[in-house]
């Protein structure tokens, strides 16, 4: 059984593309056949996060407009053979793709892949409606701050009106120390407001940025807390029951200092 999952958020910059890249690599590491579709004609794109920029020949619009077969437009990941990317166009208009096109494309890809992940643009305009059209499941990414949670709430309402009822939540960029001091919303409050199933809590971690710059999503790095959090989400998507991890509030060195009585 294959699953089409759209990753969306409402507010921009909360980590949709980061999440898509990490879940894609994570699922591929677990042996799944995965294709990622980038529907956001933005600046920071999936191909960069995956280190595939220089291999792009064709894009989503070429496929939709029938200039090239899907197979030819897909870019294979360097390291994970069963991970493919369908890049977005950097030049063409977003309105070149409509919901029916994307739905048909997803149904085509379903036949060959275990997971189709769609990276959605921010906002609730046409690009959003197109991105969600073919999805079975929506993952809403938010951050522990008031405006991001409000936008997530609106997006969830919008998904409901589009009859997308299978909605999951990922809370990204958590800073445990700030949550503890009351400067960041705590997880219980967010879950109470959004009232959808939470499948991931990802800490703010500098390794997310440094690994993205190398084109190697952090999910492969078990030394990173965020990497482990993404790996857990991958497991939950595959139906495993994994408890949420406790974040280390102090840095490693603070702990060492304590241990040595410094």
List residues near ligand ATP by CB under 6 A. Answer: 9, 12-18, 40, 42, 44, 122, 172-173, 202, 204-205, 208-209, 212, 226
249 vs 98, 144, 176, 187, 225, CA distance in Å? 45, 16, 6, 15, 11
Smallest separation, CB 72 to ligand ATP (Å) = 26
Smallest separation, CB 66 to ligand ATP (Å) = 27
Q: Which residue from 66, 93, 95, 192 is in contact with another protein, where contact means CB under 8 A?
A: 192
Angle among Cα 194, 200, 202 to the nearest 5 degrees reads 110
Indicate the residue among 31 and 157 with the shorter CB distance to another protein.
Answer: 157
User: Mask of contacts with another protein, 74-113, x by CB under 8 A?
Assistant: ----------------------------------------
- Applying CB under 5 A, does 19 fall inside the site for Mg ion? no
CA distance 262 to 69: 63
Backbone angles phi and psi of 87, in degrees to 5: -75, 165
Please answer whether residues 74 and 84 qualify as being in contact, where contact means their C-beta atoms are separated by less than 8 angstroms: yes
Smallest separation, CB 151 to ligand ATP (Å) = 11
* Part in contact with another protein (CB under 8 A); list of ranges 107-115, 134-142, 155-163, 225-233: 155-163
* Part in contact with another protein (CB under 8 A); list of ranges 32-40, 74-82, 148-156, 168-176: 148-156
Structure tokens at 172: 């990204």
Please answer whether residues 75 and 35 qualify as being in contact, where contact means their C-beta atoms are separated by less than 8 angstroms: no
Smallest separation, CB 182 to ligand ATP (Å) = 21
Q: Which does 236 bind (CB under 5 to 8 A by kind): another protein, Mg ion, ligand ATP, none?
A: none
Structure tokens at 122: 């921010």
Q: Which residue from 8, 9, 14, 17 is in contact with Mg ion, where contact means CB under 5 A?
A: 17
Indicate the residue among 70 and 172 with the shorter CB distance to ligand ATP.
Answer: 172
Classified as helix, coil or strand, 117 is strand
- Applying CB under 8 A, does 154 fall inside the site for another protein? yes
Q: To which H or E segment does residue 21 belong?
A: helix 16-29
DSSP letter string, 150-179: HHHHHHHHHHHHTT---EEEEEEEE-HHHH
Determine how β-strand 137-142 pairs with β-strand 3-8: parallel
Indicate the residue among 15 and 24 with the shorter CB distance to ligand ATP.
Answer: 15
- Applying CB under 8 A, does 31 fall inside the site for another protein? no
Residue 250 makes CB contacts below 8 A (sequence gap 6+) with 258
CA distance 205 to 226: 6
Indicate the residue among 196 and 234 with the shorter CB distance to another protein.
Answer: 196
Residues that bind another protein (CB under 8 A): 146, 150, 153-154, 156-157, 160, 192-193, 195
Residues that bind Mg ion (CB under 5 A): 16-17, 40
């Amino acid at each position: 059984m294959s699953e089409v999952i759209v990753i969306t958020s409402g507010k921009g910059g909360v980590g949709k593309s980061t999440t898509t890249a990490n879940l894609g690599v994570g699922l591929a590491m677990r042996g799944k056949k995965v294709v990622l579709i980038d529907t956001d004609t933005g600046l920071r794109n999936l191909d960069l996060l995956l280190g595939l920029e220089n291999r792009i020949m064709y894009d989503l619009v070429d496929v939709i407009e029938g200039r090239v077969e899907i197979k030819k437009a897909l870019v294979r990941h360097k390291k994970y053979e069963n991970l493919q990317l369908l890049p977005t166009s950097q030049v063409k208009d977003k309105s070149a793709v409509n919901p029916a096109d994307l739905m048909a494309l997803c149904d085509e890809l379903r036949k060959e892949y275990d997971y189709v992940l769609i990276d959605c643009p921010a906002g609730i305009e046409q690009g959003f409606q197109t991105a969600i059209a073919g999805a079975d499941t929506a993952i809403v990414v938010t951050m522990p701050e008031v405006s991001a949670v409000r936008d997530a709430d609106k997006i969830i309402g919008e998904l409901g009106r589009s009859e997308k009822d299978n909605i999951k939540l990922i809370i990204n960029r958590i800073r445990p120390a700030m949550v503890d001091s009351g400067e960041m919303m705590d997880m219980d409050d967010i879950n109470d407001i959004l009232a959808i199933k939470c499948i991931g809590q990802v800490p703010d971690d500098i390794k997310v940025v440094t690994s993205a710059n190398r084109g190697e999503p952090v999910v492969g790095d078990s030394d990173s807390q965020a990497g482990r959090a993404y790996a857990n989400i991958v497991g939950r998507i595959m139906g495993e029951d994994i408890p949420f991890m406790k974040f280390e509030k102090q840095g490693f060195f603070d702990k060492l200092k304590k241990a040595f009585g410094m």
